[in-house]
Structure 1
Amino acid sequence: MKATEDLPCPCGRAASYRHCCGRLHAQFAASGELSADSAETLMRSRYSAYVLDELAYLQATWHASTRPAELSPNEPGLKWLGLEVKKHGQLDADHAWVEFVARCKLGGRAQRLQERSRFVRENGAWFYLDGELG
């Protein structure tokens, strides 16, 4: 069991990591299966994966057409401060978007990432496609 499993989920929902994003990360680690039931849930689980350096999960949930060849772990000293989902919507059964703000601190400097992300569902699994910075 990871030390983080009983802590609040990094994604900001009122649940422990184990009962929120941790179950998606664990299911992927055990079976390779992606099981987010919505684009918003996938986006939250990806934020938690960034916080916890779950790079394999991030790669797997990134659509093949836009996926980078590799991802780097968090820089030493990076502290993720929180996630706020501003809005989200479903365009049709297989396309959705999520607008969010993620905050972090590195070297004493606060940083803020605001993005409107696009998601696509293929064969029942949601994938991050790309995003527009806000």
Structure 2
Amino acid sequence: MTRIITLLNEKNHYLEKFYSLNEVELANFAQGQFDNLEYFYQTRERILEVLKYVDAQLDKAQSEMEATQTNLDEAARAEVREALTIKDEYVTRIIEQDIQVLACIEMAKNSIIKELQEVRRNRKGLGGYKTKTFTNRLDEEV
């Protein structure tokens, strides 16, 4: 049972790292700074891989425990409940953060699209000032 509690605490530790990473980058994204976007996603992926490994270890430990132990003492149950409650809180917060991250990225994307549309309109406007006579005369002089 101590192995499961240790693994649950380790999982919470990595969820905390994930949450902290999101907090830092969310502040940057809110200011329109997306310079660390690649690092952000790579770090998140590495943490998710560790969490996947910890989950696999939890499954393995739980299977082994079910085969050998049927009764759990109340203190161990309380520790497991506390660790699971902390995990649920982190997961809820991370989901909220991810929604905010996606909103920041969506706003930046929309801003870039508007900028590109404005550039396109300006090019069309400048193209209207171009005359064939002026262009032909330049070609003849060259």
Does TM, normalized by the shorter one, top 0.5?
Answer: no
> As a proportion of its length, which structure holds more helix?
2
Greater percentage in strand:
1
Q: TM-score scaled to structure 2, two decimals?
A: 0.23
Task: Report which structure shows greater RCO (CA 8 Å, sep ≥6).
Answer: 2
